[in-house]
Amino acid sequence: MGDGQAKTVCVKGSTTTLCVALLIGGMWGMKRHASSASPKDSPRRPPFKLSLRITFGEDIGQNFGTLFEAKDADGEPVLGAGFLGAYNTHERSDRYVVHFFARTDADAPLIESLPRPTTDCGVYLADLDGRLLARSIYGGKDMVRRFWDPQAKAWRQDDSNATARMRLAGRLLEFRTNEVRYDGKPLLQWSGPGRIEPFYYANGWLVMRQHFPEDERRNGRLIAVRWMPQDKGAIDPTKGRILELPTPRAFPYACGSLGNELLITTNIGQVHRLNADGWQTLRETDGKSYQVYAALNTQDRLWLGQYPTGNLFDYFDGKLMPLNDQPPPMPGVSTSARELQTLTIYRGDIYAGVWPWGEVWRYRPGSRRWEFVKRFFTHPEPTDATVHPYEKETAALDPVANLWGQRIASMVPLGDSLYISTSAKGTPAYDPKFKFLADDKWKEYGMVYRYRLPGHLSVPMEWKDRTTQLEFIIEKGWMRVRQDGKELGRASLNGAALPTLTKDRLTWGSGLYGQFAGKMMSKRVEGL
């Protein structure tokens, strides 16, 4: 399992493993080209263009879903576009980024490290308006949010102190403790009792946690308030739908939406559903560890990443179903206390990041197989003698024995790349007492990696409250996305061959990114 090499792993209940050579259009040929080739080195190919006139309707924080998708004869997605619906630990993906993929025959990724964005031992990533954002969050000393400047190849300080931000109807919605702002204007300014922590807006619901640090015995609550971008006046949490939490220490983790439902999970194992009828608890805490760190919309489902199994849970029709051994454990390590912390979609595959050994897996949706991509730490050697890396060494120095477990904290597709970050259990500054991490070993915690395979492009679009045209083009060694005639971005195919595609395998409005939530006015394909 060398770096950059995918190993196929079949899990119980999956279909027979398929080893498929993938290429776009038999007329375009099968020759493999070096991934370092420039577009001018690519063979001449007929242009391909797919255009759609669509309207998104009213923006109430919904997931927009899939625009189109094409599969090969074996059911593997080879071409598609849509909007990512992902929420990892505490960050929601940018809803306005359109993701376009064409699975090429290149399968060995180029992986490079970026400069460290923090001196702490962990970093969490997000994206907004085409910027890659990074910050340390748990117990760190260098928790300034920074953004990546690709021209200068350096991190720059971000000018916002908001806890979280998102675009809504084209304007900025910002969350801070006791405050919500929209388009720069205050919607909520809370003075007590307790504190209000706004953390999620979707489907017209603003969801907040109210907690009471001045009274350690008082339980917190979740509050959901109906609010639309066009609404006038301030938000009043006292008029929201209230769900009492069972302990003062309960707080929300991953959130997601499926159709008209919102799913909110907590750190104590609760799973709550919110819809027009109000709150419903689908799973109550049983006193055992059960935490959901990741949520991803795919097809007509919501997939959840869980601890301590490290498995996916499938949510559909009000039911949570465990998908056992998905993803499977990395050979040679303990199967206990695993955590599926991150989920995303890149180049037609679903990617998963797993604690405590810093593993990244990818899922091939057509053949339903998991492939091991890479462990993003070089030390220590994998072992099943302990559950976590450095467990014995840490326990001799600190009461938290799993402090130096290894997290894949974030995965963000942006431009032609997938950005991957690492972390310890928290994001503390390095303490020299942990001598086993001397000689810069500790610096592998808090890294950001750029992972690239030719055949992917993620670019932010401009919000339109009317009909807009999106065009997806492959020609002369480039893949491009245009909106209303303006190019949003392009990515080189690096000379890689593209997959076979026929019109009868092209579908509209459903696929990897979930169900399309808008309306398609027209659609057209040229080059087939």
Q: What is the spatial distance between Cα 417 and Cα 110, in angstroms, rounded to a whole number?
A: 10
Q: Is residue 37 part of a domain?
A: yes
Name every residue whose Cβ is closer than 8 Å to that of residue 277 and which is 6 or more positions away in sequence.
none
Cα dihedral across residues 23, 24, 26, 32: positive or negative: negative
Report if residue 26 sits inside a domain.
yes
pLDDT confidence of residue 495:
86
The total domain count for the chain is 1
Question: Do 458 and 414 form a contact (C-beta atoms < 8 A)?
Answer: yes
**Both tokens of residue 394?**
């840490």
Judge whether 125 and 133 are in contact, CB under 8 Å. yes
Dist CA 307 CA 516 (whole Å): 30
Q: What dihedral angle (degrees, nearest 10) is formed by the CA atoms of 195, 197, 202, 204? A: 20
Q: Is residue 381, in this structure, part of any structural domain at all?
A: no
Nearest to 93 by CA among 413, 408, 461, 456: 413
Instruction: Count CB-CB contacts under 10 A for residue 440.
Output: 8
The reported pTM is 0.91
Picking from 232, 224, 286, the residue whose alpha carbon sits closest to that of residue 255 is: 224
Q: Report if residue 455 sits inside a domain.
A: no
CA angle 76, 78, 83 (to 5 degrees): 105
Query: 3-state class of 166 per DSSP?
Result: strand
Q: Please check whether residue 498 lies inside any domain of the structure.
A: yes
Tell me the Ramachandran region of residue 428: left when phi exceeds 0, alpha when psi lies from -120 to 50, beta otherwise. Answer: beta
For residues 5 and 290, give the distance between their C-alpha atoms in angstroms, rounded to a whole number.
32
Please state, in angstroms and rounded to a whole number, the distance separating the CA atoms of residues 429 and 433.
12
Going by C-alpha positions, the residue among 267, 273, 305 that lies closest to residue 289 is: 267
Residue 41, pLDDT score:
39
How much is the pLDDT for 139? Answer: 84
Of 225, 313, 219, 212, whose CA–CA distance to 271 is shortest?
313
Strand ranges of the sheet holding 241-244, from the earlier edge strand across to the other edge = 195-202, 205-211, 221-226, 241-244
Distance between CA 369 and CA 362 in Å, rounded?
8
Q: Are 327 and 354 in contact (CB under 8 A)?
A: yes
Owning domain of residue 489: 7-84+95-107+471-506
CA-based radius of gyration for the chain: 23
- Give the model's pLDDT for residue 9: 44
Identify whether 46 is part of a domain.
yes
Question: Where does residue 348 fall: left (phi above 0), alpha (psi -120 to 50 degrees), or beta otherwise?
Answer: left
On whether the CB atoms of residues 239 and 225 are closer than 8 A, the answer is yes
Whether 335 maps to a domain, the answer reads: no
Phi, psi (5° rounding) for residue 164? -150, 155
Strand order across the 65-71 sheet: 456-460, 97-102, 77-83, 65-71, 506-508
Q: What is the 3-state secondary structure (H, E, C) of 480-512?
A: EEEECCEEEEEEECCCCCCCCCCHHHEEECCCC
Q: Where are the beta strands (DSSP E) in 90-189?
A: 91-92, 97-102, 110-113, 124-128, 131-135, 146-149, 154-157, 164-168, 171-176, 179-182, 185-189
Q: How would you write the pLDDT of the chain (528 residues) with one tens digit per residue?
A: 334 444 444 433 332 222 222 222 222 222 222 333 344 434 445 578 999 999 999 999 999 999 999 999 888 999 999 999 999 998 999 999 999 999 999 989 999 999 999 999 999 999 999 999 999 998 889 999 999 999 999 999 999 999 999 999 999 999 999 999 999 999 999 998 999 999 999 999 999 999 999 998 999 999 999 999 999 889 999 999 999 999 999 999 999 999 999 999 999 999 999 999 999 999 999 989 999 999 999 999 999 999 999 999 999 999 999 999 999 999 999 999 999 999 999 999 999 999 999 999 999 999 999 999 999 999 999 999 999 999 999 999 999 999 999 999 999 999 999 999 999 999 999 999 999 999 999 999 999 999 999 999 999 999 999 999 999 999 989 999 999 999 999 999 998 888 777 778 899 999 999 999 999 999 999 886
Return the pLDDT at 528: 67
Cα–Cα distances in angstroms (integers) from residue 136 to residues 163, 353, 370, 408, 424, in the given order: 12, 18, 30, 14, 11
Strand partners of residue 86: 296
- Positive or negative CA dihedral for 97, 231, 210, 258? negative
Q: What integer pLDDT is reported at residue 46 of this predicted model? A: 56
Are 386 and 395 in contact by the 8 Å Cβ rule? The answer is no
Is residue 109 reached through a cis peptide bond, with omega within 30 degrees of 0 on the bond before it? no
Q: What share of the chain is helix, strand, coil (3-state, %, to 5)?
A: 5, 45, 50
Amino acid at 13: G
Closest alpha carbon to 409 in 341, 327, 311: 341
DSSP state of 120: B
Contact predicate 1/7, CB 8 Å = yes
Please report the pLDDT score of residue 8 as a whole number.
Answer: 44
Is 146 among the domain residues? no
pLDDT computed for residue 10 by the predictor: 43
pLDDT tens-digit series, residues 463-507: 999 999 999 999 989 999 999 999 999 999 998 888 777 778 899
Amino acid letter, 110: L
